[in-house]
Each structure stands twice: as structure tokens, then as C-alpha cells.
Amino acid sequence: MKKQIFNPNPEFAKDARVGSMDAYWELQNRAIEDYEGFWKDFADEKIDWLAPYDKVLDESNAPFYEWFTNGKLNVSNQCIDRHLADKADKTAILFEGDRGDVEKITYAQLSQRVNKMANLLKNKFGVKKGDRVVLYMPMIPESAYAMLACTRIGAIHSIVFGGFSAEALKDRIEDAEAKIVITADGAYRKGKPYMLKGVVDNALSQGGACVDSVLVVKRNNEATEWVEGRDHSYNDLIDAESDVCPFELMDSEDPLFLLYTSGSTGKPKGVQHNTAGYILWAQMTMEWVFDVQGDDLFWCTADIGWITGHTYIVYGPLAAGTTTLMFEGVPTYPNAGRAWKMVQDHKVTQFYTAPTAIRVLYKMGENEPKKYDLSSLKVLGTVGEPIDPPAWKWYYETVGNSNCSIVDTWWQTETGGHIISPLPGATPIKAGCATFALPGIMTEIIDPDGTPKEIGETGLLCITKPWPSMIRNVWGDEARYKKAYFGDAVKDGKPVYFSGDGAVLDEDGYITITGRMDDVINVSGHRMGTAEIEAAVNKDDSVAEVAVVGRPHEIKGESIFIYIVLKDGHINDDIKSHINALLSSEIGNIAKADDIIEVPGLPKTRSGKIMRRILRTIAKGEAITQDTSTLEDPSVVGQIEACVKG
Ligand code: WTA
């Protein structure tokens, strides 16, 4: 059956930057005909170059691509200084705290605070260009100041999501060899204070010898240990710093930040983004996909610890000169109307969230949006996991009053910004469908060897040409970068980028994302690798073997489902809680399992490879369709099914 199509609101399309599919194709055809010329035009228009680049794209060392070679710029200039002439008094960041406290920070104030923090990092802590700075921060404006201060002096930030455990934080600090950690005493969540600094203390007691200083921002006055000589109070030091800190001239390809993310094997990888290409695409996608204009107020509900928070709370909105709303709390506290009240109170124009949040908001208050004036909304965005058609429909009809475009944006930590998404003034949309690659982006759905899939056949989603904001390297590990993202498939003599996601084209050329094709699990839009979860479970002495899969979950999208083989005895509540305690201490509470099932053995091929596909099918409660005759012991499949049915 053909899916229903929803056309953009004509009133909105009239003033949109890209106002029709003809305008979309004009852009995309220009990129197809003259790829470098397309990117050159936008780089020249959007970036405040402080010295010109010599070459748009250098492919000589593929897949290590360089964009805008030898150009000079600075991201904090791009996001702040260059706006001061005409936007000094415009609100840059509108902060709302968990307890309803609101603060408006203008571009002029943002400039002062970022300059002061840059001076503090430079003068007091000796942070220099190229040094790594780890942030373990809550959602408070100081997090954005710290990010921008790093970019101002050329330091490379690596933000670790505040939900990660001390162990996970320690691993990331050590891998990046960070010199300093910036944190807060804690913050507020659901009306209650929680602690962050204690996790940093714990991490540094286990390792992280590279760190000489910890800078602590005061948010909730939670008492913490204080290590003299190592710990410093931001609030006590910042006033003495000057609010003038000249920015470093950064090369287009100087590293901008690292962000650790999970893949199908091994420990999380430090995804490295570089300066010019990242900021260019952050700004362009902000302008195209959300079409922010004038006094728009943009609200992305992500946490700055994820790529969505980097690109669409801080860098994209500020580079585009818009107002970004930063929210400390959860959208359902103190009640199911919190998010909608915030939209009403602040007149939010673009709202960007994850399908999990949409499902929770729906479940907690289907009619709640109707109690508020949401007429300011123009564009609704979704990201992080496939959105199911019922959630999409509620978002479109009830939240958006059938008036707003929904932009279902597909992208990844590695892509830096959006890759596939509708354009709100141009693209006729279908429920649950990410639609088309953005102008300048070349995607294909293929087999591992590069053969394109037919319409209706799910294949591997890949990006066939390098794009400016693509991952540049896995921090310190070029071999891993090549192996993780580039396979055998080649286009125009260059390896294509494999996303790890599956996708399918329909008869109208629309792309629907089907989900991960590899061993990555997506729980509430949080990416986790089965290998890291299995490594944590293996630390339990009673476990002989373990295999982890994702199981579809009504709210979270997927939940973690663990099969274990015990050395002896049988599973009991103690073992289960010990395994969950390990997951929360090794990774974080987001890694806790919904199901832990004891089985007599795992389905393995004769070469010893665990057939996770079979385990996924059983976890879903579906009938096995895979060929099990090649297994070392086919009878184990029936035994596992019996254990799961219990
Ligand atoms: C998934 C988040 C379906 C996908 C920006 C991808 C999506 C992973 C969508 C990246 C979407 C993201 N529809 N799936 N619109 N957006 N994903 O690195 O599996 O945290 O590979 O980046 O999220 O997660 P990451």
C-alpha cells in the first residue's frame, strides 16, 4: 500500500530557504555536476575565513580526506565574534533549569564568558593548542562556554556524557590523554540534586594520571572531596580573568573535538572531527533542515554529551546566529506538560527530540499538548532511532497540529551533521521516512561488494563521496578508522563509507532507515556495542559465556537482552543484580539489561562464531527462519527457545 504523503505548509514554504523540490534538485544537481564547486560556494559564503584555503577537497590519501586545505578560521569566531556587530544583544543561549530557573545569555555576554574561560584555561592551567580537555558536565551554560573556550584556544574537547560511569570516564580520559577535566559539583534532575564531581574523583582514583587539574563549576552545592592542588573552583577563579582572549588561527584540518562512540567491536572509538568542514555543515544543516530565521527559538532536547547536543545545541545554532534553548531537566518533570509549557512560555519555533521521548510524552499525556498554545512551532525534528508510524502520526497531528513539517533526520556521531532528512519547506513527507539525502550528500543502498539494491530490498546504507563534516580519524588509530568504516566497495576508485545502518528505497525514491545491521544496540537512542556489554558481563565470575542482543521495546526502541551460560549452578536474582551492577559500574545505568536469561549453550558455527541473528530472532519471540544446519550443535536452538519462553 502506498504511504500517505504530507506536503509542506505553503505559508512556511514561501519564506523557506529551500522552498520546493525543484529548488532541492537544483542544489543537488549542482553538487552532482560540480562537487567541489558546490562546496566551495557554500564555504565562501558561510565561513569567516581568516586566511584562504588552497584546495577544496584533497582525496590523495583516501579515506583520509582533507577539506579546505590550509584555510584558517576559528570556530568561536564563527559562533560568536562575527555576530557581535549586529547581534550583540540577541539571546544566544536561553537556559531553563530543572527547577524552572531561566537565564538569558546574549551574544555579548556569551563572548565575555567564553573569553574569560579561555583565559582561565590558558593562563591558569597552561592549556595549549592541541591539548585534550575532557568535559564531564551537566546541561548548564558553562558547558557551552567550556566547549567554545576550547575552540578559541585550539584545545580539543572530549565530552563524556554525564550518565557514563567512573570506569567509562577513566577509559575515555586515558585514551584521549587529557590534561584537564572540567566538571560540575552536580546538577538537578526531577527536582533533586545529583552528583558529578564524585564520579570524576572515582575515575581519577582508578587511573587518568595524565590529568593534572580538575576545574569544578558550582551548580548545586553538593559537597565533594577536594583534592588540594588538583581541584580548582571555576566560580572562585573566573572573575579575575580578562574578557579579552584573542583566538588562535586554526587550520581547516586541525582537530576540533573528539567524541567517543560505540561500534560493533572493542572499546568505544574516539571519533575525531576537524575544524572547517564540521562547522560549515553544522551551520548549513541548521539553516536548511530547521530553517532557523530571524527571532526563531530553537530547542534541541539532547544532552551535550552526545553528537546531537554538540551540533544542534551549541555549534549549529550559534554558527547560524540563532537562539538555542538549553534545558537541564527531563521533559516529563514535574508533569507530562513540562515540554509543552516550555514551548508555550518561550515560543519555541523548532523542536528537536528523539522517538523515545516522543513515545514517553505520548504515553504519559496523549492530550497534554492540546492544553498549551503550541502555535509558535514550525518545524518538528526527530533523531536517534527509527520512528514508528504511530509516534510519527501523534507528533505530526497532535503536537504539530498538522501544520508543521516533521524532519526525520538520519545521521551519526561520525557524520558530524544531518545526512538524510526532509527539508521542511520542500519535501513532501511520509510517516517514519527520512526521505532524501541532503544537497551535497551522495548516498547509496548496496550489498557489501557495492552492488546497488533494488527498490524494496533492504541493503547497507553508505555514503559514496566524502563530505566536509565526516569523521577524520579514530583518535590515535588510523587502522581502526579504515577497518570500521570502509570495506571492499569502491566508487570512482575510492572506498565508500559504510554507516552500519540498513535502509530501503521505495518506488518514489524515498529512503527509509531500517536500523543497525551490525552488533550495535540502540537503547532510547543511545548507541551501545554488544562487545563492550559482553566484556562487562564477563567480569562476573559465574559467567562462562555471554551473548548480547537488542530486543524491540515499546518505549526505548530496543532493550538489552543477555544470554548467559553459567560455569555451574543456575541463575538467581543475586547473579542478575550483580550483572546489572557490573553494567552500571563499567558503562553506566543506560547499559542495564531488561532480560538476563540462562541458556545451556550458544548457537555457534563450526568455526566458533556466535550466530547473533538467531539469538535476536529468539529474543523477539519470532520463529526461526535461518538455516541452523551449519551450527556446531543445531539442537541448542530449541533449548534456547525453551529457556526464553520459560
Ligand atoms: C540511529 C545520533 C533511524 C542509526 C545522531 C545511526 C537513526 C545511529 C536516525 C547513530 C533516524 C540516528 N532514523 N535511525 N532518523 N538517526 N539513527 O552516533 O542507527 O548516537 O547509526 O548519532 O542512530 O547514533 P549516534
Is residue 513 within 6 Å of ligand 1 at its C-beta?
Answer: yes
Residue 421 Cβ contacting ligand 1 at under 6 Å: no
Distance of CA 259 from the midpoint of ligand 1 (Å): 15
pLDDT (0 to 100) of residue 250: 98
Q: What average pLDDT does this structure show over 605-623?
A: 92
Residue 147 pLDDT class (50, 70, 90 cuts) = very high
What SS3 class is residue 113? helix
Contacts of 473 (CB under 8 A, 6+ apart): 64, 272, 481
29: Cβ–Cβ under 8 A, 6 or more apart, which residues? none
What percent of the chain is helix, strand and coil (3-state, nearest 5)? 35, 25, 40
Average pLDDT of span 249-274: 95
Which grid cell is 337?
506538560
Q: How many CB atoms lie within 10 A of CB 326?
A: 24
Ligand 1 contact, 383 CB (< 6 A): yes
DSSP at 610: B
- What is the per-residue DSSP string for 472-513? -EETT-HHHHHHHHEEEEEETTEEEEEEEEEEEE-TTS-EEE
CA 137 to chain centroid? 16
User: How much is the CA Rg of the chain, to the nearest whole Å?
Assistant: 24
Which residues fall within 8 angstroms of residue 464, CB to CB, at 6 or more apart?
A: 442, 443, 444, 491, 492, 496, 497
β partners of residue 406: 380
Please list, in sequence order, all residues whose beta carbon lies within 8 angstroms of the beta carbon of residue 188, skipping any fewer than 6 positions away.
Answer: 97, 98, 99, 194, 219, 220, 328, 329
Q: Where residue 335 falls among pLDDT bands split at 50, 70, 90?
A: very high
Helices (H), 294-412: 307-309, 316-319, 338-346, 355-364, 389-394
- Summarised one tens digit per residue, pLDDT across range 427-465 is 999 999 999 999 999 999 999 989 999 999 999 999 999
- Cell numbers 550559534 label which residue? 318
Taking residue 419's Cβ as centre, other Cβ atoms within 10 Å add up to 26
**CA distances in angstroms from 9 to 20, 429, 509, listed in the order given:** 11, 11, 22
Query: Does residue 63 have a cis peptide bond before it, meaning omega lies within 30 degrees of 0?
Result: yes
Mutation pick for ligand 1 pocket among 383, 485, 504, 519 (CB with most ligand atoms within 8 Å): 383
203 pLDDT band (50/70/90 cuts)? very high
Residues 6 or more apart in contact with residue 575 via CB below 8 angstroms: 540, 542, 566, 596
Distance of alpha carbon 343 from alpha carbon 259, whole angstroms: 30
> Cis peptide before 468, with omega less than 30 degrees from 0?
no
Backbone angles phi, psi at 563, to 5 degrees: -100, 130
Q: How far, in Å, are 137, 162, 200 from residue 195 at the CA level?
A: 10, 10, 10
Contact 303 CB / ligand 1 (< 6 Å): no
Nearest to 464 by CA among 41, 36, 63: 63
Q: What is the mean pLDDT of the chain?
A: 96
Q: Whose CA is nearest to atom 4 of ligand 1?
A: 385
- Which residues lie closer than 8 Å to 45 by C-beta, 6 or more apart? none
pTM exceeding the 0.85 threshold for the entire prediction: yes
Q: Would you state the pLDDT for residue 46?
A: 98
Is residue 249 a contact partner of residue 227, using CB atoms and an 8 Å limit? Answer: no
Q: Hey, which of 501, 510, 517, 524 would you mutate to test ligand 1's pocket, going by the most ligand atoms within 8 Å of its Cβ?
A: 501
Which tens digits make up the pLDDT trace of 375-389?
999 999 999 999 999
Spacing, Cα 383 to ligand 1 middle (Å): 6
Cα 218 to the chain's mean position, in Å? Answer: 26
What distance in angstroms lies between residue 26's CA and the mean position of ligand 1's atoms? 27
Q: What are phi and psi of 579, to 5 degrees?
A: -65, -45
Which residue shows C-alpha cell 577536594? 226
**1: pLDDT strictly greater than 70:** no
Give the per-residue pLDDT at 25.
98
For a pocket test of ligand 1, which of 412, 499, 530 has the largest count of ligand atoms closer than 8 A to its C-beta? 412
End-to-end CA distance of the chain: 38
- Asked if 46 contacts 79 with a C-beta cutoff of 8 angstroms, the reply is no
pLDDT in tens, 63-75: 999 999 999 999 9
> What does the pLDDT look like over 515-572, one tens digit per residue?
999 999 999 999 999 999 999 999 999 999 999 999 999 999 999 999 999 999 999 9
Q: Label residue 4 exposed, middle or buried (CB < 10 Å: 0-12, 13-18, 19+).
A: exposed
- Give the list of residues 6+ apart from residue 457 with CB closer than 8 angstroms, or none: 445, 504
DSSP state of 396: I
Instruction: Measure the CA angle with vertex 494, ends 493 and 495; round to 5°.
Output: 130
Cα gap 477→60, rounded to integer Å: 19
Q: How far is the CA of 525 from the centre of ligand 1 (A)?
A: 7
How large is the angle between the packed helices 635-645 and 612-620, nearest 10 degrees? 30
Running DSSP on this structure, what letter comes out for residue 538?
A: T
Which grid cell is 459? 541493503
For the segment 464-513, what is each residue's pLDDT rounded down to a tens digit?
A: 999 999 999 999 999 999 999 998 889 988 999 999 999 999 999 999 99
Joined together, the cell numbers standing for residue 450 give 557495492
